[in-house]
Amino acid sequence: MPAIVPALVVLGIFALGYRYYSAYLARRVYGLDPEFVTPAHHKGDGVDFVPTNKHVLFGHHFTSVAGAAPIVGPAIAVFWGWGPALLWITLGTIFAAGAHDFGSLVVSVRHRAESIGTLARDVISKRARTLFLLIIFFLLTLVNAVFAVVIANLFVANPAAVLPVLLQVPLAIGIGQYVYHTRSSAFLPSIVGVVVLYLTILLGMAFPVSLDPLAATLGVEPRTLWVVFLFAYTFVASRLPVWVLLQPRDYINSHQLFIGLAVILLGVLVGFDRIVAPAINDVPAGSPSWFPFLFVTIACGAVSGFHSLVSSGTSSKQLGKETDARYIGYMGAVGEGSLALAAVLAVTAGAVGSTVEWNNLYSSFAKASDGATQNFVEGVAGFANNLGLPVSFGLVFATIMVISFAATTMDTGVRLQRYVVQEIGEITRVRPLARNMTLASTVAVVIPLAMALLPGGGEQGYTFGVLWQLFGTTNQLTAGLALAVVAVWVTKNRRNPLAVLIPLVFLLVMTTWALTLNLVEFVNQQQWVLAPLDVIIFLLAVWLIVEAAVALRRAVHTRNAMETSESEYATEG
């Protein structure tokens, strides 16, 4: 099948979803109020709480939630066939991610921009906050560790991408200073920033940066040095006011989505590439079943619990008008789905020229997992080559896109982890941890750094090669639990929660099912790190689900009682 056909169909459905379904959510489910004063205004501090233009905030929000996961997950999931992968990406984005991302942003704004963990306390119960924070802490630790390893591996494999990525930091800071002090639009400066970024690709190709000599001198792997440098950078970046680096760089990176999609779609159209992978793949015996593992593997490509952490952790603190939540939250989910679509096209049509080649790359689930990122990079380079760009340039272009998204997610992830550490400090009454930003930031960096440096796990490292197996389920579980918070809030506000409850039930069933199957597999493989972690996450999830169910039932009873009382009053009147 010509790759352009499913691409246009999926993008068309996304457009309809934003036009009609997000409008329904905004009006009938979340009840957006244009007069509501957001926390960015009444709590403005110039550091975290900063009223922000919706287009700039979209750039921050999208690139924070994008990362490498919506590329890696779908690029692995086509192992079961591109048909079910694209079906879940499409439906999951419109009906699950749209409601989840949008809803968690609105509920946070209505509750003083509190994190989803704290919202669980206010909306469900005090115990729910502690349970949710523990799950979030594990998820953020895993996200930050894994993305550091992914970026480090890409730097080692593609040294020509190092210089452009490094130069993007001072470039973004300069744009941030200009926009903040002149109060002018960020659009044109950010366009200039993107042009300069891509021009530096030529510089990077002429002067590739490798840490091999320094690593050899210190007796460590080059990847280890990159991981340490990345966490040192995020320690500083996560403490800066959002307008200094985070917002301008995110706005630059948001343009990369549209440029990347344009390169892929135009490349597919010009080259008329065909999808050579099977729509439904006859996977080898012993492979994981696509039901339920396709859903937790695609993860961020359809719906992601990490998005609720960004929505309620940083984006809600910068939302200038409540009505902008539709554009930021729902459109951010659509952008994520579009990136997942691009990943599917790249690895099924761009990276290979025949079914035989594809079958070799996806001969086993392990091989599909190990090669996912590089398959995407090579696929985008192939599309770029259709447009007349050299393959070498296309490889660096695609690598920069992946690293830019992943690095932004790391910045935001460490910032969010600091918030979580401070909240845990409040709960445990460890005042230095709750009040000292430096101490909280140190904890937020040191733990994932240690996890990223754990030995073992083959070429991918222990974090990506072993612990990554729990990422998808934990991430999807967090999404389900966030939807539980949103569902209770919607019910308490006497609106129809069905649009939230349906994806909530589906996600909780899929993730608990996957956790159970994983536990059996971990025990059989004698994975005595993964098995206990799986059990802990499962028990925390079940406990929190029970708490949410009780809160939802209580909210329904309260709503029914109020409606009965109002009906009787109207009748008497």
Give tens-digit pLDDT for 145-165: 888 988 998 999 899 999 999
Which alpha helices (DSSP H) does 207-281 contain, by range? 212-218, 222-237, 246-271
Compute the average pLDDT of residues 453-480: 77
- Spatial separation of the C-alpha atoms in residues 456 and 466, rounded to whole Å: 9
Contacts of 239 (CB under 8 A, 6+ apart): 437, 441
Asked whether residue 301 carries a pLDDT value surpassing 60, the answer given is: yes
Give whole-number Cα distances, 286 to 366, 432, 500, in Å: 11, 50, 35
The lowest-confidence range among 6-10, 90-94, 452-456, 479-483 is 452-456
147 or 331, greater pLDDT: 331
- What single-letter DSSP state applies at residue 280? S
Asked whether residue 15 carries a pLDDT value surpassing 80, the answer given is: yes
- Which pair of structure tokens corresponds to residue 239? 């403490």
Q: What does the pLDDT read at residue 573?
A: 55
Q: What does the pLDDT read at residue 460?
A: 65
Compute the average pLDDT of residues 416-433: 90
Compute the average pLDDT of residues 354-370: 91
Q: What does the pLDDT read at residue 196?
A: 94
- Spatial separation of the C-alpha atoms in residues 29 and 381, rounded to whole Å: 42
Asked whether residue 323 carries a pLDDT value surpassing 90, the answer given is: yes
- Spatial separation of the C-alpha atoms in residues 324 and 327, rounded to whole Å: 5
Compute the average pLDDT of residues 472-491: 91
Q: What does the pLDDT read at residue 569?
A: 60
Contact 296, 473 (CB under 8 A): yes
- Which pair of structure tokens corresponds to residue 341? 């679509």
The lowest-confidence range among 101-110, 241-250, 492-501, 515-524 is 241-250
Q: What does the pLDDT read at residue 528?
A: 81
Domain locations along the chain: 4-287+310-454
Q: Which of 332, 309, 323 is nearest to 482 (CA)?
A: 309
Task: Please classify residue 568 by burial: count the beta carbons closer than 10 Å to its beta carbon, then call 0-12 exposed, 13-18 middle and 19+ buried.
Answer: exposed
Give whole-number Cα distances, 34 to 26, 28, 322, in Å: 11, 15, 6
Q: What does the pLDDT read at residue 238?
A: 84
Instruction: Say how many Å lie between the first and final Cα of the chain, rounded.
Output: 66
What kind and span of H or E run contains 293? helix 290-298
Q: What does the pLDDT read at residue 457?
A: 65
Which CATH code is given to the segment(s) 4-287+310-454?
1.20.1730
How many CA atoms within 13 Å lie on the side-chain side of 564?
6
Residue-averaged pLDDT of the chain:
90
Asked whether residue 331 carries a pLDDT value surpassing 90, the answer given is: yes
- Which pair of structure tokens corresponds to residue 358? 């594809």
Give the pLDDT confidence of 181-223 residue by residue, as tens digits.
888 888 889 899 999 999 999 999 999 999 999 999 999 999 9
Q: Which amino acid makes up residue 124?
A: I
Q: Which of 50, 58, 73, 158 is nearest to 377 (CA)?
A: 158
Asked whether residue 456 carries a pLDDT value surpassing 80, the answer given is: no
pLDDT above 90 covers what percent of the chain? 57
Asked whether residue 63 carries a pLDDT value surpassing 80, the answer given is: no
pLDDT above 70 covers what percent of the chain? 97
- Spatial separation of the C-alpha atoms in residues 398 and 379, rounded to whole Å: 9
Q: What does the pLDDT read at residue 572?
A: 61
Contact 257, 337 (CB under 8 A): no
Q: What does the pLDDT read at residue 464?
A: 67
Q: What does the pLDDT read at residue 239?
A: 86
- Spatial separation of the C-alpha atoms in residues 303 and 475, rounded to whole Å: 9
Q: What does the pLDDT read at residue 181?
A: 86
Q: What does the pLDDT read at residue 447?
A: 93
Q: How confident is the model at residue 541 (pLDDT cuts 50, 70, 90)?
A: confident
- Spatial separation of the C-alpha atoms in residues 14 and 89, rounded to whole Å: 10
